[in-house]
Structure 1
Amino acid sequence: MHAITITSLDGKFEKPGQVYYPLSLRSVPVPSPKGSELLIKLTAASLNHRDLFLRQHLYPGVCFETPLLSDGVGSVISTGPDVPHAQSWMDKRVILNPATGWKDAPDAPEPPGEFKIMGGTSFYNKGTLQEYITLDVSEVEEAPRHLSDAEAAALPLTGLTAWRALVTKAGEANSGPGAAVLITGIGGGVALMALRFAAARGADVYVTSSSEEKIKQAVELGARGGVNYKEAGWEKKLLGMLPKGKAKFDAIIDGAGGEVVEKGVKLLKDGGIISIYGMTVGPKMSWLIQAVLKNIDLRGTTMGSRKEFKDMVDFVKEKEIKPIVWKVIQGLDNIEAIDGLFDDMKKGSQFGKLVIEFGDSSGSKL
């Protein structure tokens, strides 16, 4: 089968941030399911920022042997000998839990050190940018039937991250009916899924972006409004958009870091929540005494547990939510086009997920 990895330069690792590892299309044996594993014929996979960071050696555990990407969808074509009710899994279209080692603890993975994310590292030898994969039956969910392969492939990692940031970390009261939620940097996969989830939960959602077009698109997807964060005084303008009787935001869902605490002091109610799932502006930011005096709670959050993954998928099925797919290219052997998706991510030009399709879920034969 075909699989795509990154390739070292001159047979050695380079300094983080000073390299851009090329993609390599490899021919490798088709794996055989053992124990309680399923053999899945993958049909689509999608990019996340961690994949770009791996190519730049800005992510731990860079590996030149493990296929890239964490998100994938496909059909079960065979099962290991210990899979319960094995026949019921045959030909079933499934989406893959993008990580392993975190069952259901609400605070952090249990036990410590066992949490591993799929794709491109030495910590977990699974990745979705390949034609076939074996995975334990406990690590898949039936793909929502209202989603295409591209949409289903766009869901797992961003959906799980957004769900935990919004529901688990911001909390029910700050992300449901009557709540005012600000989602910063709209356009990325996690931010868009947080928008979809918050709107479906009945919250009033607002967004920020440097692109007026992205703000307009977010409103079409359910946001009540948005502002360009490059405009002077945008915080006051944003507060003026809140519904009558609502003076401040309940929660901010943020992936940038930077000045989010400084802005949050002005935007959040006393006791408001900043749920931060990334720090793309930089690895450090300030914590202000004003935030302390307002009892603002800054909560770091990562992807999520297996339970949260199931809860998220069930919600997507119930509400028939669709991830936003910005671009789809065809074929694992289409290296130039796959490289182009990485270029889109580097430029930040996308509004939604970047997907590679390389199979047909209606076919289930090896």
Structure 2
Amino acid sequence: MKALIITDQSEPVEIVEKPIPEPINGQVRVKLKAAALNRRDQWIRQGMYPNIQFGKVLGSDGAGVIEAIGEGVSESLVGKEVIINPNVNWGSDPKAQASDYSVLGMPTHGTFAEYIVVEVDRLQDKPEHLNWSEAAALPLAGLTAYRALFHHGAASAGKIVLISGVGGGVAQFAFQFALAAGCNVYVTSGSKEKMQKCISMGAKGAYSYREEAWFKKVQKETDGFDVVIDSAGGNQINDFIKIMKPAGRIVFYGATNGTPEKLDMFRMFWNQITLQGSTMGNDQEFEAMVAFVNEHQIKPVVDSERPFDQIISAFDEMKAGKQFGKLVLEF
């Protein structure tokens, strides 16, 4: 089978031929129909991820058909259309992941291959209203957004929510989920096109974070936010603090801009503001996320689809950061 692995060569990712894996006890083999990129994959490609293991198949998102089963698995599952939960060993505590937790696609072989073997409990039925590309786009980013927005952010109908950097995959899901939940949703972006796209999809307002005092517009046009969902961190955290309602929650699932040079703790404690880290989500939240997508008939935003052989071009496009929606590979 064709598979994309991480290498120590000049091109750090390479398509190679590997044996088709065989499922053992409690496992199934899935013939993948589509897989999707995440920024995690690009960070691994750039050597910006901890504990990189060469020779591993990358990819955390995928959807396909169960083709073969291992011992102890019901034969009735053969032929079932599924999506894959990318959690590996979350652990027994729903509040936080275990010390040996990892994400599918390094160190465990991932979805950038024609076939994958996974534990049977990693699978959920593919939502019927999604095509293969949309289904493959859902798992990692959808789960991360769901936990950040609902578990940590406590978002609900009528809440005023800001999604920062809405061009990213997790941010787009958080945007769609907040709209579906009946929130009043605002966004930030560095792209006018992405801002306009979000307005057309239902955003109440959009702000360019490239404008130095963008938050002052927010202060004039709104009463502040109940929830902010952010991936970048950095000094803009203090801008968020200025535009929060009392008891507001700032939830961040990344820190691409690093840590703030200082933190306005005085305003935080006086206004009872929470600054909360978040990552991925537990298995129960994955099930709840898929149920939410089914209930509201949410369709992931897909920027482009291409044959698996062209996966390197998808990596290059992700690095450029101009896409709006997920980059999907088809098998």
| Band of TM-score, shorter chain | over 0.9
Counterpart of 1:319 in structure 2: which amino acid? H
- The answer to whether the Cα contact below 8 Å between 1:182 and 1:206 also exists between their aligned partners in 2 is yes
Query: Of residues 135, 143, 147 in structure 2, which corresponds to 1:164?
Result: 147
Letter in 1 for 2:318: M
Q: Given the two structures, how large is their TM-score scaled by the length of structure 1?
A: 0.87
1:141 equivalent in alignment to 2:124:
yes
Query: Can you list the C-alpha shifts for 1:62-96, whole angstroms capped at 9, x where unaligned?
Result: 1221101100001001111201xx23311111110
1:356 is matched by which residue type in structure 2? L
**Aligned twin of 2:77:** 89
Structure 2 residue aligned with 1:4: 4
- CA distance in 2 between counterparts of 1:125 and 1:132 reads 14
Q: Which residue of 1 aligns with 2:236?
A: 260
Q: Say whether the 8 Å CA contact 1:257–1:285 is kept in structure 2.
A: no
Question: Does residue 317 of the first structure (1) align with residue 317 of the second (2)?
Answer: no
| Structure 1 gaps, min length 5 | 10-19, 359-366
Whole-angstrom CA distance in 1 between matches of 2:4 and 2:68: 23
Alpha-carbon spacing, 1:145–1:178, altered in 2? closer, same or farther (3 Å):
same
Q: Deviations over 1:100-149 (max 9, x none)?
A: 1125633202xx31211011x3xx32200011111111111001011111
Change in CA separation of 1:151 and 1:52 when aligned onto 2, cut-off 3 Å: same
How far apart in 2 are the matches of 1:327 and 1:54?
Answer: 21
Q: How does 1:236-251 map to 2 (within 5 A)?
A: 236-242=216-222, 247-251=223-227
Tell me the secondary structure at the aligned position of residue 327 of structure 1. strand
- Is contact 1:104–1:308 with CA below 8 Å preserved after alignment? no
Secondary structure at 2:314 match in 1:
helix
Q: SS of the counterpart of 2:121? A: helix
1:234 has 2:224 as partner: no
Q: Deviations over 1:137-190 (max 9, x none)?
A: 11110010111111111100000000011001111xxx1111000000111100
Deviates more, 1:259-268 or 1:193-202: 259-268
Tell me if 1:130 matches 2:120.
Answer: no
Which residue in 2 is equivalent to 1:357?
330
Match of 1:70 in 2: 60
Once superposed, what is the RMSD of the aligned Cα atoms? 1.5
Pick which of 337-346 and 178-187 moved more: 337-346
Give 3-state SS (helix, strand or coil) of 1:102's partner.
Answer: coil
TM-score by length of 2: 0.96
Paired residue for 2:313, among 340, 347, 359? 340
Question: Which one of 187, 200, 204 corresponds to residue 220 of structure 1?
Answer: 200
Q: Secondary structure at the match of 1:264?
A: helix
Once the two structures are aligned, what percentage of the paired residues are identical? 42
Which of 16, 19, 27 matches 1:37? Answer: 27
Report the Cα offset of residue 292 of structure 1: 2.5
Is the 1:164–1:303 contact (alpha carbons within 8 Å) kept by the matching residues of 2? yes
Corresponding position of 1:361: none
C-alpha distance in 2 between matches for 1:96 and 1:37: 13
Structure 2 Cα separation of the partners of residues 238 and 226 of structure 1: 9
Aligned equivalent of 1:307: 284
The SS at the match of 1:265 is helix
Structure 2 unaligned blocks of 5 or more: none
Q: Give the drift of 1:230.
A: 1.9
Distance 1:176 1:307 in 2: 19
Aligned equivalents of 2:63, 2:319: Cα separation in 1: 24
Give the deviation of 1:277 after TM superposition: 0.4
Select which of 287, 296, 299 maps to 2:263: 287
Residue matched to 1:118: 104
Structure 2 CA distance for aligned equivalents of residues 23 and 6 of structure 1? 5
Partner of 2:40: 50
Letter of the 1:352 partner, please give it.
G
Amino acid paired to 2:139: P
Distance in 2 separating the partners of 1:61 and 1:221:
39
